[in-house]
Amino acid sequence: MSGAPRNKMIEMLRSGKPVFGGALHCGDIAGARSYGDSNLDYVMLDLEHEGFDMPKLGDTLQWLVSRRRMAATGEMFPSPTPLVRLPHHGNERIRWIASQALDYGALGIILPYAESGEDVAQLVDAMRYARKEKDGTIVGERRVWPKLAMRYWGYDKFEEYRDMADLWPVAPAGELALVTIVATPKAFDNLEEIAATPGVSAMMFGAKHAWHAFAKTGKIDLEDRDLVEFRNRMLAACKKNGIAAGTSLSATPPKGAGGKGAVDVSFLQRRIDEGFRVFLTQGGSRPAELDQA
């Protein structure tokens, strides 16, 4: 059991498969139950937009556990993979929240609006336990108090959890993911250095926020020339550095931005063909059209 994979998202990305996730506000127990029964690959637990409460994060993680789904699939561990979206931006350089989220049982962190390699590097240190590199330097400064996480993921010994709790792909056997959202003009200028920072698992284009960050008005258009250039440059940087690229799933704006929230299957297929592998859905399941293809 100790060697069984916990992170479904990373397991799929290792084999080159696209992954699909949904967004869930911390404390939304009904939503957690629904996602826990779903066939999504990951879920983004949002601490940014509708309140910050760490004990509620722990409750939400518990309600993601669906024994009904586990019995039906034969899988031992909760799915979808829980990633926590931090409430602060990358340039604020706050470390303790990520460390505490991991201690509750999160298997990854989503950093909103990274704008430089240094923004990401400081968070990488916060997520990794101290390890000695081949040249003798010590990297990582995550504090040691993972009792809740060890129980959540079925570990008796800290050493077993520590070996799992490293960042993929810089640690090939690691099962923690760090996803950076890029959306601002400064991030656009620094895409290559962000993608090249050791410890990043994936970079996601935040189309909605980019639309506003570039002072555009009206309904979001994911085929806008500036957004397309941003998306394509980010994809190229991800490919160059061997990390996964992510983007919005639908070519229509989400419901909260004036759109219908429907999945544009042709848009999705084009992005997959281009090399994107991480998608945030508009609904509560993987796109049925993809699984039928």
Does residue 278 form part of some domain? yes
pLDDT band at 292 (very low <50, low <70, confident <90, very high): low
Question: What average pLDDT does range 74-80 have in this prediction?
Answer: 82
Q: What is the pLDDT of residues 3-27, one digit of tens each?
A: 788 999 999 999 999 999 999 999 9
Q: What is the pLDDT of residues 145-203, one digit of tens each?
A: 999 999 999 999 999 999 999 999 999 999 999 999 999 999 999 999 999 999 999 99
Q: Is the pTM of this model over 0.75?
A: yes
Q: Can you give the residue range of the structural domain that contains 69?
A: 8-292
Q: What is the pLDDT of residues 190-242, one digit of tens each?
A: 999 999 999 999 999 999 899 999 999 998 888 899 999 999 999 999 999 99
CATH number at residue 277: 3.20.20.60
> Which residues lie closer than 8 Å to 225 by C-beta, 6 or more apart?
none
Check whether 250 has a pLDDT greater than 80: no
Between 272 and 255, the more confident residue is 272
Does residue 72 form part of some domain? yes
What was the pLDDT predicted at 2? Answer: 63
Does residue 46 form part of some domain? yes
Does residue 2 form part of some domain? no
Does residue 1 form part of some domain? no
Total of domains in the chain: 1
